[in-house]
Structure 1
Amino acid sequence: MAIIINPLTDAQVKQAKPTDKAYKLSDGGGLYLHVSKTGNRSWRIDYRRPVTRTRATITLGQYPTMTLAQARAHRLSLKENLADGIDPFEKRKEDEREKVLLSHNTFRAIADEYMSRKSHVSDSTIRNNHKQLRRLNKFIGDKPITAIKPTDVLEVCRAAEAQGYLETAVKVRTMAGQVFRYAVQTGRCERDVTQDLIGAIKTPVTTHYPAITDPKEFGIMLSDMEDYQGSFEVRTALKLLPLLFVRSGELRYGLWNELDLSAATWSFTPRKTKRSTELKLIVPLPTQAVELFRELADHARSDYMFPAIHTTVQPMSENTMNQALKRLGYEGTKQTVHGFRASARTMLVEQLKYPEQLVEMQLGHRVRDMHGRAYNRVTLLDERREMMQGWADYLDKLKRG
């Protein structure tokens, strides 16, 4: 291989053409431009390794992507490292390892890992989580999680606020906090920086699901349900929701093997809290509910008690039930399927005078005793059974009223 030793100029480098043999254009200090037979031009430098004193060559970059001035700057940096006993080759390997580590330590990578480990949560929760993560990844997804500051997360929240999505801004901060806490637990960062944002995000005005709480109006609605002309399954679901006041998703995803009609109980783990606790909620079934379930069992066509209209592998959609209410004349501004829980809670306490604590337990909410300990969801079962039967009988009176 021919070696041409010249002080290099930009013009010389630019005009370097391939020949039948590869050659070098030296710039001194071990730096040279390597010109291959195919015309590929790369900056390289020869040096002696600090420990073994053997000769080594390292490629700095390609011309013209790396200019002569940039190559000289790399040479200076390399010489400084050598003076400190640092082998450029080993340093490059260390830099590559760090780069790979950082690629697995970005917010996006850790968030993906966190989401892959999420189990026992509903599909809608997963979709909502990914929706918030898309917002976060747009701003901080490619940043190493250790380099993310509270203000970086706040910027994402502020963007949502500027669009008028105050609730989304809160959800974004919550989602970011979950990822940070997972990173802390797995040793990827020291702390959850979103804790510094408490109080910095506008609090959205809480809106409750529309719910009828006037006994007379509620009785009229129950009577209207009896005349619903849609499918038998939808009509039965509409009747059971006010009777049992479970979450609509819990009813829609209910499985036949969760029912014990001989014991008049329905036992399931609430989907909303399935990830944090495996405790089952026992719903004592009043005689009216047992009768409805027995009639429904004669039409069973799936493991789900309420399968979708056109398939047996998916449950009925929430929209199906809300549309049924709408066809009965109850728009979303007056009553929704979620609102039946609020209707029951209000009337059980205000009209039937049941203890609020008992009602909250049946709603599946965490209720604590005087010592701050959470009640188990299977406690006070006899009292709750009496309450559920009293509530069902009360609804019958409202329908007749």
Structure 2
Amino acid sequence: MAKSIKPLSTTQVSKSKPQDKEYSLGDGNGLLLRIKPNGTKSWIFNYTHPVTKKRKNIGLGVFPDITLASAREKTREMRQLVAEGIDPKTHRDNKLVAEQLAVEDTLKTVAMEWFELKRDSVSSDYADDIWRSLELHIFPNLGQLPIRDILAPTVIKQLRPLEQQGSLETVKRVCQRINEVMIYATNMGKIEANPLADIKQVFRKPKTMHMKTIEPKNLSFLMNAMSKVNTKMATRCAFEFQLHTLTRPVECATAEWSEIDTDKRLWVIPKEKMKMKRDHKIPLTDATLQLLEFMKPISFGQQYIFPSSKTPSSHMNSQSVNAVIKRAGMAGILVSHGMRSIGSTALNEQGFDKDAIELCLAHVDQNTIRDIYNNAEYLEKRRNIMAWWSDYILTASFNANTIAKPTPA
């Protein structure tokens, strides 16, 4: 028959005195008060390991910080774990590790982990834009919070002022990016579920804004306006080069001399720079070769064809051409990215092969195999298309002072 242990009283615990040797007082159910010679009184739970069946001790704290009532409650919890086949010490150690990781896994640290993966799948400029938006709109107030404490109401409150300012497109982008961070955290086991799923639904939606552009028939007006505006010659040349090559602003601004093959009359933009993450080959026309010749005295020998005027080792700002277009009186009428639409409309109206036009614009076919096939098959077709487009621009520039000129017959 098991020995009956009389429960301790608070008075007994308080008045127990140290002895020459450490000794223990039992309270029953495995709870012990261990009293050391120096007077320290510690609560111990003695139990049988549910798997090994060996006797083990686990500390519950020091008296009087942990009262008799608290020690008994902790003992009750430990006994419950043992009854469920769980070792209390292992359970507590795991909980402490989880809590420590939760403190270390702040929103910003997890976002940094996610960003290291994300940046490999997007252009460097787009990656910079992603991180800058989080630094501006999320991290200042939420960055140091544990990832598990990030809840929808907290993020909504953070983004409401942006919505009230009318920055709806920014709100939409930030919602998308913070969602990606939380999905990453879920997949990594840092949180059990993403609490921000569909958070964008609680904000007003931005109105779809079509890229501002002009009809091809109005190209002569643009060329005349641009030839009269006061700007640096390198920027004027970049405007013409971007128009002739049908590239995006950032692709033109970051063009490098190493990407140009004048013998093959080809500009190959590496996939790391492209929106769709594949190499983009652009046939060079007589006009684009003229523009490159114009830039040689300015930047040949440097990395970038269109260098920054302030930092020659860097490239021109991708919005420089856009700024000149505005100064030329085209604000609200045309943006530099919209020049691609002028070319697309003109080429389609002329009846060129639609697949070849799409490749000229670096619009990638979703079927990768077909895309590679088309890239090879349509290169010669694209040379003819780009030559026609350059001639079209030069014809529209007959009254304008441009850098590229028609090649004498």
Q: How does 1:380-399 map to 2 (within 5 A)?
A: 380-399=378-397
For the residue of structure 2 that corresponds to 1:212, the secondary structure is coil
CA-CA distance at 1:245 after TM superposition: 1.8
One-letter amino acid matched to 1:328: A
The runs of 5 or more residues in structure 2 that have no matched partner are 1-6, 400-409
Tell me the residue number matched to 1:244.
245
1:124, CA displacement in angstroms? 3.3
Query: Could you give the per-residue CA deviations for residues 198-247 of structure 1, whole angstroms, max 9, x where no partner exists?
Result: 9887653221232222523x312212333444323212112212121201
Aligned to 2:292: 293
How far 1:373 moved relative to its partner? 4.1
Aligned-pair CA distance for 1:31: 4.2
Q: Distance in 2 between matches of 1:380 and 1:54?
A: 77
- Aligned counterpart, 1:322: 322
Deviation readout 1:134-158 (Å, 9 max, x if unpaired): 66773997345xx99xxx5698469
Identify if the C-alpha distance between structure 1 residues 57 and 193 changes in structure 2 by more than 3 Å, giving closer, same or farther. Answer: closer
Structure 1 position 142 matched with structure 2 position 140: no
Aligned to 2:356: 358
Q: Shift of residue 84 of structure 1?
A: 5.2
Whole-angstrom CA distance in 1 between matches of 2:83 and 2:366: 68
Query: What percent of counterpart residues are identical?
Result: 24
Distance 2:134 2:208 in 1: 23
Judging changes above 3 Å, is the alpha-carbon distance between structure 1 residues 192 and 74 closer, same or farther for their aligned structure 2 residues?
closer
Distance 2:120 2:287 in 1: 35
> What SS does the corresponding residue of 1:266 show, helix, strand or coil?
strand
- The answer to whether the aligner puts 1:28 opposite 2:27 as a matched pair is yes
Contact 2:106 2:147 in 1 (8 A): yes
**Number of matched residues?**
382
Give the aligned partner of residue 92 of structure 2.
92
Which residue matches 1:268? 269
1:363 Cα shift? Answer: 0.6
Partner of 2:115: 115
Q: How many angstroms does 1:291 deviate by?
A: 0.7
Distance (whole Å) between structure 2 residues aligned to residue 96 and residue 368 of structure 1: 48
Q: Say whether the 8 Å CA contact 2:234–2:295 is kept in structure 1.
A: yes
Deviation at 1:252, TM superposition (A): 1.1
Q: Which runs of 5+ in 1 are unaligned?
A: none
Instruction: Give distance in 2, aligned partners of 1:140 and 1:128.
Output: 21
* Map 1:2-401 → 2, pairs under 5 A: 7-8=9-10, 28-29=27-28, 30-32=31-33, 43-45=43-45, 56-61=56-61, 68-83=68-83, 86-99=86-99, 110-117=110-117, 118-119=119-120, 121-130=122-131, 138=142, 142-143=146-147, 156=155, 160=159, 163-164=162-163, 165-172=167-174, 174-175=176-177, 178-179=180-181, 203-213=205-215, 215-216=217-218, 218-271=219-272, 273=274, 277=277, 279-299=278-298, 300=300, 302-331=302-331, 333-350=332-349, 352-367=350-365, 373-374=370-371, 376-400=374-398
On the 8 A contact 2:253/2:306 being kept in 1, the answer is yes
Moved more, 375-384 or 25-34: 25-34
Instruction: Confirm or deny: 8 A CA contact 2:107 2:143 kept in the other structure.
Output: no
Task: Give the aligned residue type for 1:221.
Answer: L
Distance 2:322 2:23 in 1: 77
- Measured after TM superposition, the shift of residue 112 of structure 1 is 2.9
Alignment-mate amino acid for residue 294 of structure 2: E
Change (3 A) 1:193 1:156: closer
The superposition leaves residues 29-78 of structure 1 with CA deviations (integer Å, 9 ceiling, x where unpaired) of: 434487996x9886554556567777654333467775554333112212
- Cα distance in 1, alignment partners of residues 369 and 192 from structure 2: 31
> What secondary structure is seen at the aligned counterpart in 2 of 1:364?
coil
Is the Cα–Cα contact under 8 Å of residues 260 and 266 in structure 1 kept in the other structure? yes
Instruction: Please give the alpha-carbon distance, in whole angstroms, between the structure 2 residues aligned to 1:83 and 1:123.
Output: 56
Q: What's the secondary structure of 1:400's corresponding residue?
A: coil
Secondary structure in 1 matching 2:127? helix
Q: Deviations over 1:309-361 (max 9, x none)?
A: 12233211124333333333332x222222211222223323x3434433221
Q: TM-score, normalised by structure 1?
A: 0.74
Give the direction of change, closer, same or farther, for the CA distance of 1:102–1:373 in structure 2 (3 Å limit): farther
What letter is aligned with 2:211?
A: Y
Contact 1:34/1:44 (<8 A) preserved? no
Indicate how the Cα distance of structure 1 residues 50 and 188 shifts in structure 2: closer, same or farther if over 3 A, else same: closer
Q: Which amino acid aligns with 1:307?
A: P
* C-alpha separation in 2, matches of 1:330 and 1:177: 37
- The one-letter code matched in structure 2 to 1:127 is D
Instruction: In structure 2, give the amino acid aligned to 1:76.
Output: R
Deviation at 1:362, TM superposition (A): 0.5
Cα offset, 1:288, TM superposition: 0.9
Q: What amino acid sits opposite 1:395 in the alignment? A: I
The separation in 2 between residues aligned to 1:183 and 1:362, in whole angstroms, is 39
SS at match of 1:235: helix
- Structure 1 residue 301, shift from structure 2 partner: 5.2
Equivalent residue letter for 1:142 = P
